[in-house]
Amino acid sequence: MELSEYVQKGFQMLADPGSFDSNAFTLLLRAAFQSLLDAQADEAVLDHPDLKHIDPVVLKHCHAAAATYILEAGKQRADKSTLSTYLEDCKFDSERIELFCTEYQNNRNSLEILLGSIGRSFPHITDVSWHLEYQIKTNQLDKMYRPAYLVTLNVENTDSRSHPEISFSCNMEQLQDLVGKLKDASKSLERATQL
Amino acid sequence: MLLDLSEEHKEHLAFLPQVDSAVVAEFGRIAVEFLRRGSNPKIYEGAARKLSVSSDTVQHGVEGLIHLLTESSKLMISELDFQDSIFVLGFSEELNKLLLQLYLDNRKEIRTILSELAPDLPSYHSLEWRLDVQLASRSLRQQMKPSVTIKLHLNQNGDHNTQVLQTDPATLLHLVQQLEQALEEMKTNHCRRVVRNIK
C-alpha cells in the first residue's frame, strides 16, 4: 500500500500521546470511520468537547489521514499484520495499534460493502411487475380476442440514482421464451456455484 | 353485421362494373399492394391512360376497393354478410364473386397490417444472457461478486432496440418466479372462462 507523506505525517501526530491522549485518539478514530460509513455524517463529527483542546488544523489533518488510510486498507483488503506493520512504522504504541485493528475489524464489512458499490455497471434490475390483458378491439381492428402481457422491469442506475422503467408487451409464446431463457441462466448459475 | 356503405363510397365503386373482371382483379391486387406498401399515384395515371378515363376515376375505384376490404377485414364479417353488403351495389354475380374472393383471400393479411396500426409499445423480441463474476474494481480488490448480464432485444414500430441490463442471482430467481406466475395465470379458471365467453 502506498501512502503519501501527508498521511504518514498525520499518523505520526496521531501516534503522539502529547498531541492526542487515549480518549482523543479513540474519538478521532471513531470519527474517521463515522465520516466514511455514516451517510448522515458531516463536519460536526469532530465537534466533541474532548477534542476541543486540539488545534483544528491538526485535527483535520489527522482525521483526513486516518480516513485515507482506512479507505486504502479496505480497498486492498488489508489484514491485521499489514495494518500493524504500518502503524508500527508510524510509531504507534501497541495499545493504539490494538485499538485501531479492533475498530477496523468492527467496521470492515460496512467498509467493503461501501467500496464494492462504487463504480459503473449496467443498469441493475431490481424487480419485475406484469399485467395480463385480453385484447378485444382497437379502433382499427375488431374481434382481436387475444391475451397479451405487459412486463415492466424496475431498473436502478448506480450513478444517477435514477429509476427508469423498461416496459414491453409480449404474447404467451414470447413470455415463455423469456422465462425459458431466464431459467437457463439460473440453472447455469446453480451449476457454477456447485463447482 | 352488414357494412354501411356511404353514397360517396358507392359512387366510387360504381366504376368497377364498367371494366372487365381482369381489370377489377388487377385493381384488387393494386389495392392490397397499396395497403402493404403505401399508395403510388403513378399507377393511377398509367391505368387511366389504358382505360381512357380520368386518373381520378381510377383512384376512386381503387380507394373504394381498399376501403371495402379494410372495413370488412376490420369487422371480420362473415361471407354471407359480405355478400349481402355488396348486393346493394347491384353488381353482376361474377363481379360479386370476384369481390368476395378478394376479401377472403386477403383478409388475414389485411388484419395483420391493421394490427400494426395499434398504439405500439415496445414488444419483446429476444434475450441473451451471460454469467459473470466480478473479481475486482478500482475501489475494491479481491471480490467474488456473481452477476447476470442480460441483453434484451425489443421491437418498436419496426425499429430494433437493445438494452443491456444486469442483475444479481437472487433477483434472477425472483424474476423467474414472478414471470412463471404470470404464465400460470392464463391457465386459471377465471382466465379460461373469459377467453371462452368473449368471442
pLDDT in tens, B131-157: 999 999 999 999 999 999 999 999 987
**Is there a domain that residue A21 lies in?**
yes
Do A107 and A125 reside in the same domain of the chain? no
What percent of chain A has a predicted confidence (pLDDT) above 90?
58
More confident residue, A81 or B51: A81
A143 touches chain B (CB under 8 A): yes
Do A109 and A129 reside in the same domain of the chain? no
**Is there a domain that residue A136 lies in?**
yes
Least confident of A36-50, A81-95, A181-195, B73-87: A36-50
* Residue whose grid cell is 430494433: B160
Residue A30 phi, psi dihedral angles, 5° rounding: -60, -40
**Is there a domain that residue A67 lies in?**
yes
Q: Cβ of A43: how many Cβ atoms within 10 Å?
A: 8
Least confident of A49-58, A154-163, B8-17, B34-43: A154-163
User: Least CB-CB distance to A142: which of B75, B145, B163?
Assistant: B75
Do A14 and A108 reside in the same domain of the chain? yes
**Is there a domain that residue A132 lies in?**
yes
DSSP symbols for A5-17 = HHHHHHHHHHH-T
Tell me the shortest Cα–Cα distance from B50 to chain A, in angstroms.
35
Do A58 and A111 reside in the same domain of the chain? yes
In this prediction, residue A1 carries a pLDDT of 75
Domain that holds residue A136: 120-170
B49 touches chain A (CB under 8 A): no
Do A136 and A91 reside in the same domain of the chain? no
Closest Cα to residue B111, out of A66, A163, A145, A26? A145
**Is there a domain that residue A152 lies in?**
yes
Asked if residue A160 has pLDDT above 70, the reply is no
The domain tally of chain A equals: 2
Q: Which residues pair with A168 in a beta bridge?
A: A151
**Using 50, 70 and 90 to split pLDDT, how confident is the model at A177?**
very high
**Is there a domain that residue A66 lies in?**
yes
User: For residue range A16-34, what is the model confidence (pLDDT) as tens digits?
Assistant: 888 888 888 999 999 999 9
Do A105 and A135 reside in the same domain of the chain? no
In this prediction, residue A149 carries a pLDDT of 95
> B129, A185: Cβ pair inside 8 Å?
yes
In this prediction, residue B119 carries a pLDDT of 65
**Is there a domain that residue A36 lies in?**
yes
Rounded Cα–Cα distance for residues A101 and A114 (Å)? 19
Asked if residue B31 has pLDDT above 70, the reply is yes
**Is there a domain that residue A154 lies in?**
yes
Do A88 and A148 reside in the same domain of the chain? no
**Using 50, 70 and 90 to split pLDDT, how confident is the model at B13?**
confident
Q: Which residues pair with B164 in a beta bridge?
A: B151
Do A135 and A81 reside in the same domain of the chain? no
Mean pLDDT of chain A: 89
In this prediction, residue A101 carries a pLDDT of 94
Q: What's the N-to-C CA distance of chain B in angstroms? A: 15
Do A11 and A97 reside in the same domain of the chain? yes
| One-letter amino acid for residue A103 of the chain | E
Model's pTM, two decimal places? 0.72
Give the DSSP H or E segment for A34: helix A22-37
